[in-house]
Structure 1
Amino acid sequence: MYDDEQPLFSVSHLSKQYGPGCSDCKDLQGKQLIKNYCPSCGTVYACQDLFFEVYKGEILGVVGESGSGKSTMMQCLYFDLEPTSGEARIRSFKDGQMNIFNASSQQRSFIRNHILGKVYQNPASSLKMSFSSIGNIAEKLIAAGYRNVSQMEARGKKLLSHVNIPLYRIKEAPRNFSGGMQQRVQIAKALANNPPLLLLDEVTTGLDLSVQASVLDLIKTLQREMKISMVIVSHDLGVIRMLADRTLVMLDGKIIEQGLTDQILEDPQEAYTQELVQSLL
């Protein structure tokens, strides 16, 4: 049995840079940067020495403007990008003793198929738009080792029903669906193998307000019913206020403030966070 007071997922010293760096910007203490950009060599420091933890059943919100490094961080965590440096440990993989950034390609596939799920801003990044919706679920199940067709069909129907896709439409391709329905199919696919941790990257961006509300309500319901941990990235503090237990605020590739979401909203310490909160009022 795991101690729930210990983090399910921990990240330390996570950094991602584009470019070699130079003497003006390589020293972490003395970077001569404009925002996260070095004017001397052109290096962009997309993520800079990030630390955070996620606990069982918790929703961790990550908020910041476009270009703050939120999506780059999420891409590194799901192996869509290779970080420049850093460590990430998952309690349910090798008892949390292994830095997953050092994992082999086979181990990474196992982590993506069994331990982490990801919901992308653009559903086409995850879904095969010409496959049926239930076929998309089956693809994820097959990758995790399922071979029994009737079991996969039953699992797919259950998941799609859970995210409010009508059963008479489960053999339709997601390209025929609205943006909100595509996101719901993507959430079902991400949940196919009961991952303990779900990563959600700007999942309501571009959706109508009423559709946004239904997707957010679905996420909150799933988290409550399945006791799943989540990391939710958004540029919209209203989304974070609705969903997150704790919140990280990012700016120029750095975490500039973190704490309980209520605390961040009621007593923001950093000037940028204060501006965010003011924009919400």
Structure 2
Amino acid sequence: MGESTAPILRVNQLNKQFGTGCRQCNEVGSRQLDKNYCTACGTVHACQQISFDLYPGEVLGIVGESGSGKSTLMRCLYFDQEVTNGEAFLTPYKDGSSNLFEESSQQQRYIRNHLMGKVYQNPVMGLRMDFSSIGNIAEKMIAAGNRHVAAMESRGSELLEKVHIPLHRMKEAPKNFSGGMQQRVQIAKAMSNNPPILLLDEVTTGLDLSVQANVLDLIKHLQRELNISIVLVSHDLGVIRMLADRTMVMLDGQIVEQGLTDQILEDPQHAYTQQLVHSML
């Protein structure tokens, strides 16, 4: 990655809290929290001052234990939840000059439909289980303004083939599919409008190891072929090692360490990262 490469996504000081906060926890510099929880008023500071850049064609891994704020961060980036405050700029959107979090809900829908795809940990969140698989892909294409049925059908078939769903099953509903197949349909749906950015939230959790390996291979292959930028959340360092170029480590709503994946796995600096890496060996 040359110095001239500008980030495709810049996130700056993103905060997400559940609760109004109080004197004890609202001052950023002097917060007194138990992990990410304020014992005085009960506010949870799920994401605190999160800043990072994502570069074109890069896979950025985010690792951390359950409750570290990584899935909340993903929900904020995809507008599934509103941020408390912070900024995000996307180069393909208004040349990266407009804070995405301050755009209207209509504009945020446009960004979701054209510029981002998301694959959820639980396929029920990302798919309509009673629609056909190809119908799920068409739904995302229609949301982005496509009206041409034949074009949608050919794009849908192409994507399902890419993710190894047999075409004779494309009219079948995902509720009849195994977990691994449901994840693959979700990946096809997320990619239907050629978004430059894909958000993957714990996509292999709960899958058998052999199925996990297949899904990860698929993601790796698609990422290389299409040069998509990916933000990948996992609590599994094996997944991060296989896919991520750079890695951020989150703990209690904060980034405690970030760097090249190899560097973080081979020479972790923060005590929590050392513990994570050690538990993987």
Contact 1:4–1:55 (CA<8 Å) still a contact in 2? no
Written as runs of structure 1 = structure 2, the 5 A alignment for 1:63-142 is 63-142=63-142
Task: Using structure 2 for the length normalisation, give the TM-score.
Answer: 0.98
The answer for the alignment partner of 2:146 in structure 1 is 146
* Residues 134-182 of structure 1 deviation map (CA, whole Å, 9 limit, x = unaligned): 0001111111111111111000000000000001100000000000000
| Structure 1 residue 280: Cα displacement | 1.1
Give percent identity, aligned residues only: 69
Distance 1:44 1:105 in 2: 25
The answer for the alignment partner of 1:12 in structure 2 is 12
Written as runs of structure 1 = structure 2, the 5 A alignment for 1:14-93 is 14-93=14-93
The answer for the alignment partner of 2:240 in structure 1 is 240
Letter of the structure 1 residue corresponding to residue 241 of structure 2: R
C-alpha RMSD of matched pairs (Å) = 0.8
In structure 2, the residue corresponding to 1:24 is in which secondary structure? helix
In structure 2, the residue corresponding to 1:33 is in which secondary structure? coil
In structure 1, the residue corresponding to 2:269 is in which secondary structure? coil
Letter of the structure 1 residue corresponding to residue 80 of structure 2: D
Does the alignment pair 1:215 with 2:205?
A: no
Distance 1:28 1:170 in 2: 51
Letter of the structure 2 residue corresponding to residue 76 of structure 1: C
Moved over 3 A (4+): none
| Structure 1 residue 109: Cα displacement | 1.1
Does the alignment pair 1:224 with 2:224?
A: yes
Letter of the structure 2 residue corresponding to residue 64 of structure 1: G
The answer for the alignment partner of 2:278 in structure 1 is 278
User: How many aligned residue pairs are there?
Assistant: 279
Distance 1:89 1:116 in 2: 13
Unaligned 5+ segments in structure 1 are none
The answer for the alignment partner of 2:183 in structure 1 is 183
Unaligned 5+ segments in structure 2 are none
Letter of the structure 2 residue corresponding to residue 160 of structure 1: L
Deviates more, 1:14-23 or 1:65-74: 14-23
| Structure 1 residue 4: Cα displacement | 6.0
| Structure 1 residue 23: Cα displacement | 1.2
Letter of the structure 1 residue corresponding to residue 58 of structure 2: E
Letter of the structure 1 residue corresponding to residue 226 of structure 2: M
In structure 2, the residue corresponding to 1:25 is in which secondary structure? helix
